[in-house]
Amino acid sequence: MAFPVPSDEIALHERVLARDPVAPVDVFQDLMDPLSSAIRHDLPCCTEDEAYDSSVDAVLAYLGQPEKYDRTRGRLSTYLLDIAKKKSIDRLRARSAAERRDETYAALVEVRGTDPKQTMEAKVEARQLWEMVEGVLPQERDRQAIALILSGESSTDVLAEALGLTGMPAAELRRRVKQHRDRLMKVLERLEARQGHDEGT
């Protein structure tokens, strides 16, 4: 899907500045799909969800402060795409960091060692870590979600079901699942740090 022609973009921007109540809806309808497609084209490593969420962020940032857009410096679509790309790059960096964390924690649960002593030690560490998880997370939903994360599960729908998140738009669901996932990963990081400290004393 292509961006609107420049004259239509200018007219849409003028409506946003005039606080036309329908203008934000038209911005989403006219610009979201081409923004997401452009991000996927320019940043192939972005997932569909990441491109969509970054496009939403860009549109919301624009609608929150439309006066920051200077049409003498370029098209509205170019302005929004620049914001969306920066948001996408932030998400890619966060995903890379999260994947590294996941690999670390998955190694505690899915032991791949071949040395019997190392295998036993890893199993003990995993059991101790899980006992700590149960101690700080009384909600069964949180524990189920952590188990899925540690097993490598990344599906928004699967994690949402475990967390009991239903009945909301897809974009809101992705945002809520990400919030819970980040929260649970921080809990695991603190527990791992505590476990390492206890073993060192």
Q: Which domains does the chain have, with CATH numbers?
A: 6-93 (1.10.1740.10), 110-200 (no CATH)
Q: 0.85 cut: is pTM over it?
A: no
Give the chain's length: 201
- Looking at every residue in the chain, the average pLDDT score rounds to 83
Distances (CA, A) of 13 to 22, 24, 32, 34, 128: 12, 10, 15, 17, 57
Q: Give dist(CA 98, CA 89) in Å, integer.
A: 14
Average pLDDT over residues 164-189: 88
Contact 45, 26 (CB under 8 A): no
Q: Give dist(CA 145, CA 177) in Å, integer.
A: 10
Q: Decide: residue 22, CB within 10 A, 0-12 exposed, 13-18 middle, 19+ buried.
A: exposed
More confident residue, 84 or 91: 84
Query: Has residue 68 got a pLDDT over 90?
Result: yes
Question: Between 116-136 and 76-109, two packed helices, what is the crossing angle to 10 degrees?
Answer: 120
More confident residue, 28 or 102: 28
Distances (CA, A) of 142 to 95, 101, 173: 21, 18, 16
Predicted confidence at residue 187, as pLDDT, reads 84
Contact 160, 177 (CB under 8 A): yes
Contact 143, 137 (CB under 8 A): yes
More confident residue, 17 or 170: 17
Render the burial of 106-115: b for 16+ CB within 10 Å, e for the rest. Answer: eebbebeeee
